[in-house]
Amino acid sequence: MRRLSRHIGGTVFNGIFMALVVFVGLDMVAEIIDEIGALQRNYRFADALVYVFTRAPSTIYEYLPNSALIGCIYGLGLLAGNSEVTVMRASGISLLRIVYFVIKPVFLFVFLGVIIGEYFSPYLDQRADGTREYLRKGSEVQDSAEGLWIRENNEFMHFNAVFPGGVLYGVTRYQFGEGKKLEEASFSTRATYNSLDGEWTEENVSITRFTDNSTSTEKRITRQWTSDLSPEVLSVNILPPSSLPIKTLANHIAFLQQQGADIAVYELAYWRKIFQPMVILGLVLVGVSFVFGPLREATMGFRVFIGVVIGVSFKTLQDLLGPFSIVYELPVLYAVIVPILLCLAVGVFLLRRNG
């Protein structure tokens, strides 16, 4: 039985791996083509390749559910096409045990998805974006059309590039007084965050102060900057909610609730992260049930096609229910759970019908 488990698991694992390579490869080629249009200044084609490959873990995370679905359909369909599934059933092996053998390798990819989504993607995405913007805009001149704008009390700040761990390039700060009157403008080429005292250290600072009748300028090699901004706060502002780790999302949701702000977008991303393993298992269950049911006599090409249709349909349903729940102020948790429950219900129904 152990040998049979390894045989089924290995076949399914190879199917998922091949599907993931195809999906990720095609997406990366498309991203490289898109990046060609963004080449400028010191950001060259080689840098675009580094940017795309640095963001590869996020691409893997995005395509894991569909890859698991199609990989299981392909692997189990291959066994069914060779009549191996028929021999297993004739030998007295139950359908549920075969399903268990199929799902076992899926847990490896579920674990991989959790590790990537929580530890690799947030850091690498921010580093890739920061490097890209730094090469395209540098640190010596402000580019107000791009980059990150943040407001803190009466101060407006702009950063050309934001790196993980609290490193900023091209830092411009505007301080306003009463009547929204500009009092001070400063620019520094670089700022780093000291986690021990919670302060920033600006480097190569140029300061311009405005009074009623005159202006004055000052140059400093370094300057201490006290602010409520932290690397975690910056990551929330620079990365889309879907790229943030669960802990950061939970902290930001709690902060927004204290401020009485809308949390729907971040809450949707939070629950999608939490239930990502269930999404993968639900789609796999549907794929397995289709191979034993409606696709039992189908060709391999048709099985893969149906797998793509199921995956696209599920993603479309997710993308529709999420914004729908936000617009109509419905619990976003339902928008995440409903597609998963639908997959589980269809899978269990077809398996019981053909068991």
Residue with tokens 């795309």: 52
Residue 250's pLDDT band, with cuts at 50, 70 and 90, is very high
pLDDT digits 0-9 by tens, 155-194: 999 998 899 988 999 899 999 988 788 889 999 999 999 9
114 and 218 both lie in a single domain: no
228 and 298 both lie in a single domain: no
Q: How many independent structural domains does the chain possess? A: 2
The answer to whether position 10 is within a domain reads yes
7 and 59 both lie in a single domain: yes
The answer to whether position 255 is within a domain reads no
Given its phi and psi angles, is residue 41 left (phi above 0), alpha (psi -120 to 50 degrees) or beta? Answer: left
> How many angstroms separate the most distant Cα atoms in the chain?
95
pLDDT over 70 at 65, yes or no: yes
In sequence order, which ranges of the chain are alpha helices (DSSP H)?
2-36, 45-54, 56-81, 84-90, 95-115, 121-137, 231-238, 246-259, 264-274, 276-292, 300-327, 332-354
The answer to whether position 115 is within a domain reads yes
The confidence score (pLDDT) of residue 140 equals: 60
The answer to whether position 73 is within a domain reads yes
Calculate ∠ Cα 176-225-174, nearest 5°.
25
9 and 81 both lie in a single domain: yes
Q: Last residue of a domain, which of 214, 238, 262?
A: 238
112 and 183 both lie in a single domain: no
Phi, psi (deg, nearest 5) at residue 146: -130, -170
The answer to whether position 254 is within a domain reads no
The confidence score (pLDDT) of residue 200 equals: 94
Mean residue pLDDT of the chain comes to: 88
3-state SS, 31-47, equals HHHHHHCCCECCECHHH
Three-class DSSP category at 230: coil
12 and 122 both lie in a single domain: yes
The confidence score (pLDDT) of residue 81 equals: 77
pLDDT over 70 at 355, yes or no: no
157 and 130 both lie in a single domain: no
The answer to whether position 234 is within a domain reads yes
The confidence score (pLDDT) of residue 229 equals: 86
pLDDT over 80 at 39, yes or no: yes
Residue 31's pLDDT band, with cuts at 50, 70 and 90, is very high
22 and 124 both lie in a single domain: yes
74 and 127 both lie in a single domain: yes
42 and 128 both lie in a single domain: yes
In this structure, which amino acid lies at residue 34?
Answer: D
The answer to whether position 268 is within a domain reads no
pLDDT digits 0-9 by tens, 260-282: 888 999 999 999 999 999 999 99
Q: Last residue of a domain, which of 185, 212, 238?
A: 238
The confidence score (pLDDT) of residue 7 equals: 86
pLDDT digits 0-9 by tens, 320-337: 998 899 888 889 999 999
Q: What is the pTM of this model?
A: 0.87
12 and 127 both lie in a single domain: yes
Q: Last residue of a domain, which of 238, 257, 286?
A: 238
pLDDT digits 0-9 by tens, 109-158: 999 999 999 999 999 999 999 899 888 876 666 655 677 888 888 899 99
Range(s) of the domain holding residue 164:
148-238
119 and 10 both lie in a single domain: yes
In this structure, which amino acid lies at residue 327?
Answer: V
The answer to whether position 63 is within a domain reads yes
The confidence score (pLDDT) of residue 141 equals: 60
